[in-house]
Amino acid sequence: MASDRESLAALIEDLGEWCGTDGCAGIPRDADEIVAVVVKAGWRPAARVIETAAALDGLPADSVVLDPGGVAWQLDSEGHRWASACGGPRRVYVDGIDLPVTVLWQPEVSRG
């Protein structure tokens, strides 16, 4: 399986293959245009991994992470406790979770 970097490089190489013999007419020359083409093709950055308690504490309320055991956790709306993402009456709340975690989702607004 190709790494994220190799996948992105392949997309950029594909842009170069469009070049042909006409001096690359039609190929975006501006970095923002190239990024737009690559993102439109489906490239996404690798998921963020958090390895320190300080970085974990910096996540905004309602963020969702995956712990080393494969359990998903969501930070409560006050940003103080973690709740198992299974929901329902079996939902478990804890004050801390094992590191490292992979960030699955986080809201745009950060804790102030």
DSSP string, 46-85: PPPEE-SHHHHHTSPTT-EEE-TTS-EEEE-TTSS-EEET
Nearest Cα residue to 51 out of 109, 93, 84, 97: 97
Q: How many separate domains does the chain show?
A: 2
Instruction: Report d(CA 111, CA 14) in Å as an integer.
Output: 41
Instruction: Report d(CA 20, CA 46) in Å as an integer.
Output: 32
Question: What pairing do the DSSP bridges indicate for beta strands 64-66 and 101-105?
Answer: antiparallel
Claim to verify: residue 101 and residue 54 sit in the same structural domain: yes
Per the model's pLDDT, the better-predicted residue between 110 and 98 turns out to be 98
Claim to verify: residue 66 and residue 92 sit in the same structural domain: yes
Structural domain boundaries enclosing 18:
4-40
Claim to verify: residue 97 and residue 62 sit in the same structural domain: yes
Lowest mean pLDDT among 19-23, 26-30, 49-53, 108-112: 19-23
Claim to verify: residue 73 and residue 90 sit in the same structural domain: yes
Question: What pairing do the DSSP bridges indicate for beta strands 72-75 and 49-50?
Answer: unpaired
Per the model's pLDDT, the better-predicted residue between 44 and 18 turns out to be 44
Q: For residue 16, what are the contacts with CB-CB under 8 A and spacing of at least 6?
A: 27
Claim to verify: residue 61 and residue 24 sit in the same structural domain: no
Q: Is residue 90 part of a domain?
A: yes
For residue 74, CA distances in Å to 49, 55, 59 come to: 15, 15, 11
Mean pLDDT confidence for 38-43: 82
Q: Is residue 80 part of a domain?
A: yes
**pLDDT of 96:** 92
